[in-house]
Amino acid sequence: MRRVVLAATGVVTLTTLALPAYAGPTKPQATGQAAEYVVLYEKGASLEKARAAIKAAGGTILRENTAIGVATVRTANARFVAEAGRRDGLVGAAANRTIGQVPKTVRVARAQENVEKEGRGVTGRRGPARGEKGSEPLSHLQWDMKQIGATDKGSYKVEKGDKRVLVGVIDTGIDGSHPDIAPNFNRKLSRNFTVDIPVDANGDEVDGPCEYDGCVDPPDVDHNDHGTHVASTIASPLNGLGMAGVAPKVSLVNLRAGQDSGYFFLQPTVDALTYAADNGIDVVNMSFYVDPWLFYCTDNPADPPADQAEQRITIQAVQRALDYARSKGVTLVAAAGNQAADYTKPYIDTTSPNFASEPGETPRTREIPPSCLSLPAEGKGVIPVSATGPSKRKSYYSSFGNGYIAVAAPGGDKYDTADRKLDDNAGIWAAYPESLARARGELNPDGTPNVPYILRSCKGNTCAYYQSIQGTSMAAPHVTGVAALIVSKYGHKDRRGGLTLDPRITESILRSTAVETACPPGGDYTYERFVRQSDGSYTRVVDTHTCEGSKKNNGFYGNGIVNALNAVRR
């Protein structure tokens, strides 16, 4: 996952949760100063009634999602939140977090993104090549595909995927021009639901200078690299270049909801899910959590009333979007999170909110009960995925929890090595935008990589780049790829001329064909890592995680490690 990681997936039936509209105090707003809010409409209320209520409260609609009843509104009314909460037709309103600032403490934490790109600050290393050679030049490095049976001798012989199956990547974007993605990239259906935020309210950089009109990037670029890596794992083609994905013949659709900086805000997220539902997308991959709260609580006493209201509204809005997508045939896959936490136990969150809606707001320490939700992973109907390393142990960073994890998949673990020191080959290799490699100074003048975590593969005059990352963000796309194979194999024609399969059937096959993997003996597993410091020395880090449950279903692996071959040869 990006930043510190992904969300979790629980089983709270949010559609029946009675959440009262908030009409109490709101955060200070100077009289006459315009502000933006996200407004949630009451279920069943007519659009005319909801729109009239917004207007009566002094708001102007900037952006509206009529399918699920969410709007972004601008107003100069300092009491807009209170008034919106009292109006018939509206559930309530919360500050739009795209308008605000990044707290200094968060800037420091974001600069230390040390899970997915572990070892970037020091010299990494490559161990011996892993796995058997295959039809693709770099397939010998894909221990991950071998672990789930997605190889030339495995699932590729039975089912490579069908172009009519559409996989939506809700992420930071996809580099549609990457030579190992372009053959499967559906440019026509791809969309960008974000607007770049050059600087925050203090003038500090968020996404950086706008490169396109209106600060809206085209739907075929990725200025972050996260989404491109995810897309490659799902569906890089078998084309004699680089490496292949789990489902090398399905179609990739960029549904960008993530900022260049890696933030995923509410409105773009629900818009991407709604678009997927309305445009025949079969599976979506969600390797992120909705900002600014790592966990959303309905009534946590650590949060002031306005923040509680914001979290209640976000829970309802995201669940509405998830329900809408699933009702339209979209299978929902999400990363479980990189906090190395048991999501079924109390947790101390020190990272939220990570984007401030008012000056001086900073992350606070909150005790999070299991009833709080990290979204979208803990949304109803979502398949949360934990990560494994080359040895099949749960990755040291992967969050977990009995009753939370659905299945596991390779996400990489660069310390899952003989000497417990970092090895880039124990991560997940996948596509990397060349433009970013050049901009970040990771290439020599002749185009060869000058860092150990990047590789180049060439076929004739065409060259492509790949990077090694780890995270539950990398595990989820393996499951998404297997889900796409399931739809390809067992789906039926839809009215659009594509293929479709009930998400309940897809999930059932995913779970029932996963390879059951038991908890460690005694339940506990101790992770030992020797982390290299900038001066060349090593620091020993030891953590113990407890796995609960049976071999058939437990907190580390859920129903087991997914298997592409098993899924398509039933």
The model's pLDDT over 327-362, given as tens digits with 9 standing for 90+, comes to 999 999 999 999 999 999 999 999 999 999 888 899
Q: Of 111-125, 207-221, 461-475, which range is least confident? A: 111-125
pLDDT for the residue numbered 122: 62
Kindly indicate the confidence band of residue 123, based on its pLDDT and cuts at 50, 70 and 90: low
Which CATH number is associated with domain 122-568? 3.40.50.200
Buried b (16+ CB within 10 A) or exposed e, 76-114: ebbebbbbbbebebbbbbbbbbbbbbbbeebeebbeebe
Q: How many CA atoms lie within 13 A of 63 on its CB side?
A: 13
The predicted model gives 61-84 an average pLDDT of 96
Six token digits for residue 500: 């479709």
Domain 16-95 of CATH type 3.30.70: yes
Of the candidates 370, 356, 366, 373, the residue with the CA atom closest to the CA atom of residue 300? 366
pLDDT in tens, 127-159: 555 666 788 999 999 999 999 999 999 999 999
pLDDT for the residue numbered 17: 27
- Residue 428 confidence (pLDDT) above 90: yes
Compute φ and ψ for 482, nearest 5 degrees. -65, -40
Q: Of 18-27, 96-105, 297-306, 527-536, which range is least confident? A: 18-27
The predicted model gives 301-307 an average pLDDT of 92
Of the candidates 87, 79, 89, the residue with the CA atom closest to the CA atom of residue 306? 79
Instruction: Return the higher-pLDDT residue of 521 and 31.
Output: 521
pLDDT in tens, 455-482: 999 999 999 999 999 999 999 999 999 9
Sorted by sequence, the CB contacts under 8 Å of residue 225 that are 6+ apart come out as: 172, 432, 433, 436, 467
- Percentage of the chain surpassing pLDDT 90? 85
Instruction: CATH 3.30.70 in the chain: give the residue spans.
Output: 16-95
Instruction: Return the higher-pLDDT residue of 112 and 35.
Output: 35
- Residue 121 confidence (pLDDT) above 80: no
pLDDT in tens, 218-273: 999 999 999 999 999 999 999 999 999 999 999 999 999 999 999 999 999 999 99
Six token digits for residue 566: 């098993």
Instruction: CATH 3.40.50.200 in the chain: give the residue spans.
Output: 122-568
Average pLDDT, the chain: 91
Q: Strands, DSSP E only, in 328-404?
A: 331-335, 347-352, 364-368, 382-388
Six token digits for residue 34: 């315009």
Kindly indicate the confidence band of residue 33, based on its pLDDT and cuts at 50, 70 and 90: low
- Residue 9 confidence (pLDDT) above 50: no
pLDDT for the residue numbered 534: 86
Instruction: Return the higher-pLDDT residue of 495 and 389.
Output: 389
Kindly indicate the confidence band of residue 124, based on its pLDDT and cuts at 50, 70 and 90: low
Amino acid occupying residue 451: V
pLDDT for the residue numbered 236: 98
- Residue 113 confidence (pLDDT) above 90: no
Buried b (16+ CB within 10 A) or exposed e, 377-410: bbbbbbbbbbbbbbeebbbbbbbbbbbbbbbbbb
Six token digits for residue 247: 């489902």
Amino acid occupying residue 193: F
